[in-house]
Chain A
Amino acid sequence: MSAVLRLGYLPLVDAAPFFVAEALGFADQEGLSLALHPAPSWSALRDMLAMGLVDAAQMLAPVPVAQAMGLGGTRARFDALQLLNANGDVIGVSRALAAKMRDAGYGFDFTDAAGAGRALIAAAGSRLRIGVPFPFSMHMELVHYWLEHLGVALPEDLEIRTVPPPMMAEALAENEIDAFCVGEPWGSATVEAGVGDLLLPGTAIWAFAPEKVLAVRSGWADENPELTGKLMRMIWRAGRWLGEPGNRNLVSDILAAPGRLPISAEVIDRALSGRLILNAAGEVRTTDHLITFHRGAASFPWKSQAAWIATRLAARHGQDPAEAARAAAASFRTDLYRLHLGAAGADLPERDSKIEGAQAAEGPVSAARGKVILLADPFFDRRIFDPTEVLR
């Protein structure tokens, strides 16, 4: 008799590890049978997890951090067991704004975040409204970081608004927002709907950003050590399979199967391949690591990632950065990753933290087990974040 594990998710490309685990036998291998529960919104998914309606959930990486800091509508605490993926977001603008930017000579290179940001602000004038899916999300953090560090005066009326991803195209069409940052395929959906032009991949702002985590209620992992191990190994193996370039076409088909993602295999493949259509004229740009499931130790829940998110949130919400970073880092469970995935064959870095933004090119770091090769992770402005400033 296999244990039934209830997993909650939002129908997005980065829920892929759950579907792959179910479809390709990674769950069976651990004697697990999965009950997958789609949620209509991030707040609903967070509440499902908080109230025990699901055992584990796909979650925006900043959510466990925000909960650890006591921000948001509920008081639940979560643990991030591992990352489901790094990256996956795109930034786009309304067609009207895109036309203005083009008229001003901007070339939509889809690479240079500083140039794109300056062109955007120049075209927007005194008012700029940007839609993101959730107040605690990498989308929100990327937009803030990008605009704050451009070195130009921001529009007097700069507003970052919450818009659920499926409603992003509508919000653009109704002139509720001028620009957006959203996970694929919803950026491409605005292009398909003829209301938006893509401006940048999220990786142009931060080349290796923690996007979604596998989250459980605080205490659950310690009460269910055996089940936690099974869950983590299953997700890690699914992620490793997802990271194999040769599996891409099969991934799109698995995700687009009935009852999974309400998105066509062709559009899913754009996110997986990094080959995006920018605008209604059909201009194509290709970008690396648009979404990363496994390469570069992508699943390791670096405490420095939690600390980075926490210091950013602390600055905006008037909290003490060191206290916030410590609470957040404690919720990224590198101890469980080492315990459960080391034996399963995962490469383990020697340390729990790294200097974020310091990896200029793909390369090795010292490992406690195996060989750890990190992908380049610079911020667009080449700043670095040294977690030892806030984590002791």
Chain B
Amino acid sequence: MDTPLSIVIVEKDQDRARMIVEGLRAVGAQDIAVFSDDAGLARRIAERSPDLVLIDIASPSRDVIEELTLASSPMERPVAMFVDRSDGALTQAAIEAGVSAYVVDGMRPERIKPILDAAIARFRMVQKMRAELIATRRALEERKVIDRAKGLLMAARGIDEDAAYALLRKTAMAQGRKIVEVAQALVTAAELLK
């Protein structure tokens, strides 16, 4: 019987980390530590000496993990990027899901694969939620800007809300721009003229 894999997840958002941990536990992983991607990361990973490190591709701390791939690294067992040593489909899936995996030398791929499959699935979910959150936030901000621009037009030209919106839309179409861009320009100009 193999000893349980020791896994480190580098993720500073606690909710996201929890989702990933749950996904890995579901396929039998037990020994999981979550580190935030702040200063001192390489030291803390080296102290724990994990078999597998999972990190968001977009994290600037990936370069810290790179230090662990060297023979002179603070970790006794050099690590390698997993996707580089495996099949193309898995590599593609990992990149699309936004996860980078580093494994220590000598680890058998068949021990890692189920964990990585689960990680990819979870990172994909996390990524989708993040994209939705960003889209929602942007939509909210855009609506705020458009509302302010409508208000400015209503006050300056004595028109009602529908007419103000129609004017914004007409201007945007004529200039080949988005409504929110025209609204933002108006809001900025109004602030300058205050």
Contacts and interface: CB of A to CB of B under 8 A. Distances in A.
B63 interface: yes
Interface string B68-81: 01111000000111
Nearest to A170: B39
Interface in B43-70: 43, 57-67, 69-70
Interface stretch (A36-44, A223-231, A300-308): A36-44
B72 A317 contact: yes
Interface in A117-134: 133-134
Interface string A135-178: 10000000000000000000000000111101100110010110
Dominant SS among interface residues on chain B = mixed
B123 interface: no
B95 interface: yes
A40 B64 CA distance: 12
B31 interface: no
A166 B58 CA distance: 14
Given A73-B69, A74-B81, A317-B72, A176 B62 contact: no
Interface in A327-385: none
Given A73-B79, A73-B81, A73-B84, A162 B66 contact: yes
A136 to B, nearest CB: 8
What class of interface size applies to chain A in its complex with B?
20 to 34
A73 B60 contact: no
A161 B91 contact: no
A166 B60 contact: yes
Interface residues of B, number: 28
A201 B81 CA distance: 34
Contact of A134 (B39, B63, B100): B63
Contact of A41 (B40, B59, B72): B59
A75 B39 contact: no
A317 B63 contact: no
B81 A164 contact: no
A136 B42 CA distance: 16
B38 interface: yes
Nearest to B85: A75
B102 interface: yes
Among B58, B61, B62, B63, which residue has the most Cβ atoms of chain A within 10 A?
B63
A133 B39 contact: no
Given A42-B63, A43-B65, A73-B79, A135 B70 contact: yes
A167 B37 CA distance: 10
A267 interface: no
Contacts of A167: 38-39, 60-61
Contacts of B42: 161-162
A40 B56 CA distance: 10
* Top-7 shortest CB links A-B: A164-B60, A176-B39, A73-B81, A73-B69, A171-B39, A162-B67, A41-B62
Given A44-B57, A51-B95, 8 more contacts: A40-B60, A44-B62, A44-B100, A73-B69, A162-B66, A163-B64, A164-B64, A170-B39
